[in-house]
Structure 1
Amino acid sequence: MTITERKKKKILQAIIFCITFFYWMQIVHAQQKKGPVPFKVIAFYTAQNDQAHISFVHEANNWFPAMAKQYHFIYDSTSNWNNLNTAFLSQYQVVIFLDTRPQDSIQRIAFEKYMKDGGAWLGFHFSAFALTPSSYQQNWNWYHNDFLGSGEYSSNTWRPTSAILRVEDKKFPATKYLPDTFSSAPNEWYKWKNDLRKNPDIKILLSIDTSSFPLGTGPKPYEIWHSGYYPVVWTNKDYKMLYVNMGHNDIDYEHRTNTTLSFTFSNTLQNKLIIDGLLWLGSRNKKR
């Protein structure tokens, strides 16, 4: 091979390298521009009977789509609980219960399988409610005792009022950017029969700070809390889940207008808790 031929070969190799490098960079740039694949969220709701819960569901179904655009995830919602089956749930990385929980045994089995297989869940307020006797009896031990850990509902404050919440764990993804204490949106706060502090699987993230007392306005004396320990946000270490007790708007029942007097998603710091929690649930890491 002559010197001229060797030069031509080197030039050709250089050209091929440059073309290959150019197209490789174009692919990398396109992938970076596209960003990560968005996770999908499905929210189940009932939105019946209690106007405060109905108001919250409507509010949530307006707020979450706006957050989905801002934080790049996909949000769907349905009131058809028959969709709580393995085939349907396989399309989604996160399940939300906005108010109630499934009553049908087949739906319950599908949800338990989904969670045990690595699915993620966010539950609001009434989704943890269970009381025997009532329309929502405690007849699902895995969900209320093993998964949530709270057991049956015991009592609540009235009327819906803001509380000072204390962050119990500053390292958790949903709470790491919150101040030590902050004021919540107005809410009806629940008390549970089980002491979550005694459950090694439960990690309490937020509780009601003692500076909140007395909490509630009555008129019944037992609807006003003067002392005690009340967890309001927690996770189960064995699952990718988050329960938040918020989700009960204040309603004008007295004048029978059913007008919404307060909104759950009106509080910036509380919203930070919820969206950071959802982004953690939607992440690919199956464990904390």
Structure 2
Amino acid sequence: MNMDQATALSGKVAVITGAASGIGLALALHAARLGMKVALSDVSDDRLSIARTQVEALGAQAIAVRADVSKFGDVEQLRDRAERELGAPWLVANNAGITKIALTWSHSAADWRRMFDINLYGVVNGLLAFLPGLRARRSGYILNTASAAGLLTIPAASAYVASKHAVVGLSETLYRELSASRSGVSVSVLCPALVKTNIMQSSDAAGAGSAMQSSHAMSPEDVAVQVFDAIAAKRFWILTHAAHMEPYIRARAEQMVTQENPDLSSADPDVARSSSAATGVDFLAAPSA
């Protein structure tokens, strides 16, 4: 544990959505180790109860609030309970998210709506609910969980990719606004690649589990360490897999500025391989002219 972080964050309130498992739970546990009070939110009462027990076992004061982040009223209630029972929030982690591996023409209207309601509007609702208080107090931190899919594209995940690109664009715009207005509030965008979480084992991500065998698949705990290091440094971009992603990001940027068609150099082959396994389409073959 970084003792400077613990000193800086001890007693402050963290609100974390999608906190019952995966990255969200790892963030909650790490916040607890740093002496923060933690409001955990998710849609599963049973998993939330277990997560709260784990956080409290570390000596932290915690509450568990069932909330559907796609519903603004639920997020308002999360804010109100956090303020009433723990105090004014300082860290707001808009982390809840879902995915689906399917070809674009296999996504239903309901698939698109659900993906954006949770992945994008979950972030928007978090900002609408918590940002006014953070700005009024001129203190606080926002963490928006996007994905490597907010910087690159994943074949057979168009709804997910679109929602995560939106989160990245929203977050960078917000960063410029908060900085220029000297708001006292900071923001980071989290863009992990493969992380060993339930999102990749869900029925909506069927066929993607093979990606977890990749050598660069990371534990949620390692992601949490990087997140809190970035918060301490007030670093906007959090690319947990930066070394792995760099060649694909650079290749994509080069293709943009030279107006060349996308090719294999700008796609993560591990992810492309799992998308191929899920759909039967070979995404590792060179694109046709």
Query: TM-score interval w.r.t. the shorter chain?
Result: 0.3 to 0.5
Structure number with greater CO (CA < 8 Å, separation at least 6) is 1
Higher strand share goes to which structure?
A: 1
TM-score calculated relative to the size of structure 1: 0.34
TM-score calculated relative to the size of structure 2: 0.34
Which structure has the bigger radius of gyration? 1
Higher helix share goes to which structure?
A: 2
